[in-house]
Structure 1
């Protein structure tokens, strides 16, 4: 009997609860294109307005996960992954995946591209000559067997319903819906066949959720559904006001990630890598506590084991061996293999004082307009565009001191762009400033 999609839309629009069969029919209709795009948009808006119960959210996630292939790994593998809700300067995945692999885990990290002001892990890696993000299922399995980690794009067979829904959520302004976010993220991670998952849920000016309570609400939904799907799932709530680390962009972030892998990354980046990695090792059963997990990740960054895994992953995903070796060499200038911007512009501190804030969102928006980001899926980006922060929050600075270096290919920065960048820097008179930890809270599996 044909499904009456208008009736399902009306049911949800009026605040009713969809049954398991209703939700399964909707997702299958999305996958097979039996439901019109306008009807999908109407259902998304109804969900955004009326929400979903825990049971509906779980059913939606399961139906999406089972709309395509679900990976199956050897029983002896400890398969783990991490997902971030997006931020500015967030290159955590690049050192984290190989660090986890160095601890004996298998990490099939399926990542995304940047959209709007948030950067994408795949875009960053594609600034490395030869790096291929598109790998078949068999290639992913082989890389995990040989190396232990890979960072790839979503395959055609993995959660095909999500590709349709994800694009239409953006087009229909329903991105913020917690049930839809949960379904999108956890369906893909469930289809990866994971043993354990850690979620980096960000809050602040440069995050999707601006306050801690909203981020906590999303994290609880993600953790609950992930665990009910049989994946040991936990979350970390982290602050996203200032950029992570000192670099924002694609090529420049890869270079900073390499510094982290060489044991000398910026403190906040290293804190996130060790916290997320340590937490994942703990909840997966690899170690007995969060602290021992953090110590193990720290050791893998300091002793070079994580760097070796990253080098092996580069080669396995298409980077010439000599380039991969040179990038991971301690003596190498990492920029020599990256596409360089034609121009660099430095801006000066306007007054003496303490750096109180650096607005990550304002900075990212300028870089986006210079070509570092995209406004729609498939749009080309300029990997060479980026920024280097030359001061730290809490640092006392002098008028005329250089605080930021912008890499760009336009002839010069506009007056408006310069103004926006200078507004992102907040200077205060206090010489005593307490620097907050990036990690605000852990959400534990129940």
Structure 2
């Protein structure tokens, strides 16, 4: 603690705030405002904030506390304002944004942003990089030759005006308290606390200044929320936070027990996203992209359209091309491919009855598609390519997955991650059809 900090009279001290939450009391607005600000100023030490976040993890927060904690984190930094955004011709542009709580094969942002923008609504999509088994949108796009994630606010506004969509890194000025707190939670076992997840996500999204927000809250083995009850509580909490802050917020509850689509890995997922933009791609990726687009457009006042149409007619692809080019990328360049591949094959005839998202995500991570800590490089071509989905009939010896990596010594650990994560068994046609026809969308909230 600095001498200046010690000599300044503070209205509270960290110990009394920790004691209050440890003993099950609700924190006051004044306590919350102070502790978030004081942590940002280094008056509250990491070990003290660790104790407080663990107390929050164990004892929870009331809705009022979560809203005030979120507001305090927003107040720690700058806020963006898209109120004056127009096209080059001067037409006002409504803004809409999407946030996913993360999963395996979740490349939805890539086709979604240009799809929504193709209907004349601006999409300022501030995204992040992956950590652990969940992939990062920026890592995926950085597999495109020349593409850059870091844009100034001026560059972002110009691209929104001229192209309608931007996917880029969030500036350091947005909710800086959350950046510090997230890193602390990651190493103190408090990542899963719903009040802290909700306030972390929503402080950044509210600070971004979008008019409409659609949340994709995932549940299942490959998500942070493993069961539907917790995911539903998180979705409801975030919808309430958004609406309390004046942001038109809704949520989709979606299934992350099985990977999304047929790829998990950076360049692999870009390739699949381009297939969706070309009117093809896996049915579950198309379904979720279209439904999220419909919700985003409705929130921005665009109704009576079928977003799937602009996937079929090429308009979404046109926006994608312009969006990638505007950020220095070459959308026509060959995507990176891994130097080595290895097949995982079926041991018997039957139906693929299980395909665990977490197992596939860990395998992709171990192959080099993800990182263990912030700042590590990732392999653009690494990952897992799926050749069958639950409900598909397979034959003995048939390739179920192809593993991709530049470092073949990673194959054994990747295959160990997959062990027990998939199963081929006997199943009648009705059971197989039920697996094939499952919807990725479980519910709509708000």
Q: TM-score w.r.t. structure 2 length?
A: 0.92
What is aligned with 2:37?
A: 28
Aligned to 2:234: 218
1:334 is aligned to: none
Which residue is 1:265 aligned to? 281
**Residue deviations 1:201-228 (CA, integer Å, cap 9, x gap):** 1111111112111111111101111110
Q: Are 1:249 and 2:259 an aligned pair?
A: no
Structure 1 position 169 matched with structure 2 position 185: yes
Q: 2:63 aligns with which of 45, 48, 54?
A: 54
Q: Does 1:343 align with 2:340?
A: yes
Matched, 1:440 2:442: yes
- 69-78 or 306-315, which deviates more: 69-78
Query: For 1:422 and 1:67, how far apart are their aligned partners in 2?
Result: 45
Q: Which residue of 2 aligns with 1:125?
A: 141
Distance 2:212 2:397 in 1: 49
- Return the alpha-carbon distance in structure 2 between the equivalents of residues 228 and 411 of structure 1: 51
1:369 is aligned to 366
SS at the partner of 2:420?
helix
Whether the 8 Å contact between 1:353 and 1:431 is mirrored in structure 2 is no
Deviates more, 1:338-347 or 1:116-125: 338-347
The 1-side partners of 2:411 and 2:316 are apart by 41
Q: How far off its partner does 1:424 sit? A: 2.5
Whole-angstrom distance in 2 between the partners of 1:410 and 1:188: 36
1:72 corresponds to which of 62, 73, 81: 81
Cα offset, 1:420, TM superposition = 4.1
Q: Who is 1:157 aligned against?
A: 173
How far residue 120 of structure 1 moved from its aligned partner, in angstroms, is: 0.6
**Which 10-residue stretch deviates more, 31-40 or 307-316?**
31-40
**Alignment partner for residue 408 of structure 1, among 402, 405, 409?**
405
1:186 equivalent in structure 2: 202
Partner of 1:332: none
Tell me whether 267-276 or 297-306 shows the greater mean CA deviation.
297-306
Q: Distance in 2 between matches of 1:79 and 1:130?
A: 27
Equivalent position to 1:310, from 320, 339, 344: 320
Return the alpha-carbon distance in structure 2 between the equivalents of residues 16 and 43 of structure 1.
12
Could you tell me which residue of structure 1 aligns to residue 87 of structure 2?
A: none
Task: Select 2:25's aligned residue among 16, 36, 39.
Answer: 16
Mapped to 2, the partners of 1:241 and 1:4 lie a distance apart of: 44
Aligned to 2:220: 204
1:385 aligns with 2:353: no
**Structure 1 residue 31 displacement after superposition:** 2.1
Determine if contact 1:396/1:431 at 8 Å carries over to the other structure: no
List gaps (5 residues or longer) in structure 2.
Answer: 1-8, 85-91
Could you tell me how far 1:419 is from its partner in structure 2?
5.0
The Cα of 1:139 is off from its aligned counterpart by 1.2
* Cα deviations by residue, 1:348-398 (Å, 9 ceiling, x for unpaired): 211111111211211221221221111111111111111211112211111
Alpha-carbon contact 1:347-1:402 (below 8 Å) kept: yes
Counterparts of 2:230 and 2:30 in 1: how far apart (Å)?
30
Distance 1:413 1:55 in 2: 48
Q: Does 1:100 pair with 2:116?
A: yes
| 1:279 CA displacement | 1.4
Q: Aligned equivalents of 2:356 and 2:249: distance in 1? A: 31
Q: Residue 170 of structure 2: SS of its match in structure 1?
A: coil
Describe the SS at the equivalent of 1:167.
Answer: helix
More off after superposition, 433-442 vs 421-430: 421-430
Offset of 1:410 from its aligned partner? 2.3
Matches within 5 A, 1:280-295: 280-287=296-303, 292-293=304-305, 295=306
Single out whichever of 27-36 and 145-154 deviates more from structure 2: 27-36
**1:414: Cα distance to partner?**
4.7
| Contact in 1 for aligned 2:366/2:410 (Cα 8 Å) | no
Q: Judge conservation of contact 2:284–2:439 (CA < 8 Å) in 1.
A: yes
- Matches of 1:419 and 1:34, distance apart in 2: 45
Per the alignment, do residues 39 and 344 of structure 1 end up closer, same or farther by CA in structure 2, a change over 3 Å counting?
same
Q: Distance in 2 between matches of 1:29 and 1:158?
A: 17
Answering whether residue 331 of structure 2 is matched by residue 299 of structure 1, we say no
Work out which of the residue numbers 379, 389, 398 in structure 1 matches 2:395: 398
Aligned equivalents of 1:103, 1:246: Cα separation in 2: 28
How far is 1:116 from its partner?
A: 1.1
Q: Is the 8 A contact 2:379 2:405 kept in 1?
A: no
CA–CA separation in structure 1 for the residues paired with 2:283 and 2:36: 43
- RMSD, aligned CA: 1.5
- Distance in 2 of aligned mates of 1:307 and 1:442: 28
| 409-418 vs 222-231, greater mean Cα deviation | 409-418
2:3 is matched with none
Q: TM-score, normalised by structure 1?
A: 0.92
State the SS of the aligned residue for 1:377. coil
Instruction: Give, in angstroms, the shift of residue 77 of structure 1.
Output: 2.5
In 2, distance between residues paired with 1:50 and 1:212? 21
Cα 1:80–1:398 shift into 2, 3 Å: same
